[in-house]
Amino acid sequence: MTQNKILIVDDEQNIIWVLKKGLEKKNYLVHTAASGEEALKKLAANQYLMMFSDIFMGETDGLQLLEQTRQLSPDLKVVMMTAQDTMNNTIEAMRLGAYDYITKPFDFDEVFRLIDKVEIAQSVSAPASDLPDPNQEAGTQDTSITSAIIGKSKRMQEIFKTIGKSAGSDLPVLITGESGTGKEMVASTLHQYSHRKDQPFICINCAAISRELLESELFGHERGAFTGAIETKTGKFQQADGGTLFLDEIGDMELALQAKILRVLQNNEFYRVGGKNPITVNVRIIAATNQNLGDMMNLKRFREDLYHRLNVIHIDMPPLRERLEDVPLLANHFIHRYANTLARGKVYLSPDVERILSGYHWSGNIRELENVIKRALMLALSGPILPEHLPPHLQEDVNADDEGQWDDRLNQLLQDFLLNNHEDGTVYETLIQKVEKHLFEILLSKHSGKQVATAKVLGINRNTLKRKIDSMKISPKNHKSNGS
Mean pLDDT, the chain, rounded, equals: 83
> For residue 383, what are the domain limits?
321-390
Other C-beta atoms closer than 10 Å to the C-beta of 376 total 26
Cis peptide before 105 (omega within 30 of 0): yes
> Does residue 291 fall inside a structural domain?
yes
Checking if the pLDDT of 31 tops 60, the result is: yes
pLDDT of residue 457: 73
pLDDT of residue 200: 96
Reported as a single tens digit per residue, the pLDDT across 227-254 is 887 888 999 999 999 999 999 999 999 9
> Does residue 149 fall inside a structural domain?
no
**Cβ 77 vs Cβ 111: under 8 Å:** no
Residues 281, 349: Cα–Cα separation, whole Å: 48
Same domain, 308 and 330: no
Same domain, 184 and 307: yes
> Does residue 192 fall inside a structural domain?
yes
Checking if the pLDDT of 422 tops 60, the result is: no
Same domain, 242 and 357: no
Q: What is the CATH number of the domain that holds 415?
A: 1.10.10.60
> Does residue 163 fall inside a structural domain?
no
Same domain, 93 and 192: no
Task: Provide the number of structural domains found in the chain.
Answer: 4
Same domain, 198 and 314: yes
> Does residue 293 fall inside a structural domain?
yes
pLDDT of residue 138: 32
pLDDT of residue 346: 82
> Does residue 60 fall inside a structural domain?
yes
Same domain, 296 and 212: yes
Residue 414: CB partners within 8 Å, gap ≥ 6? 431
Checking if the pLDDT of 326 tops 60, the result is: yes
Same domain, 426 and 371: no
Percentage, residues of the chain above pLDDT 70: 83
Q: What is the CATH number of the domain that holds 348?
A: 1.10.8.60
**For the whole prediction, is pTM greater than 0.85?**
no
pLDDT of residue 423: 54
Same domain, 117 and 205: no
Residue 27: CB partners within 8 Å, gap ≥ 6? 3
Helical ranges in 245-391 per DSSP H:
255-267, 293-298, 304-310, 327-342, 351-359, 365-380
Reported as a single tens digit per residue, the pLDDT across 124-182 is 444 444 333 333 333 333 433 444 588 889 999 999 999 999 988 999 999 999 999 99
Same domain, 177 and 295: yes
> Does residue 107 fall inside a structural domain?
yes
Please tell me the chain's helix, strand, coil percentages from 3-state DSSP, rounded to the nearest 5.
Answer: 50, 15, 35
Q: Which residue has the higher pLDDT, 461 or 139?
A: 461
What's the chain's length in residues?
A: 484
Residues 126, 3: Cα–Cα separation, whole Å: 21
Domain end residue (candidates: 100, 122, 144): 122
> Does residue 154 fall inside a structural domain?
no
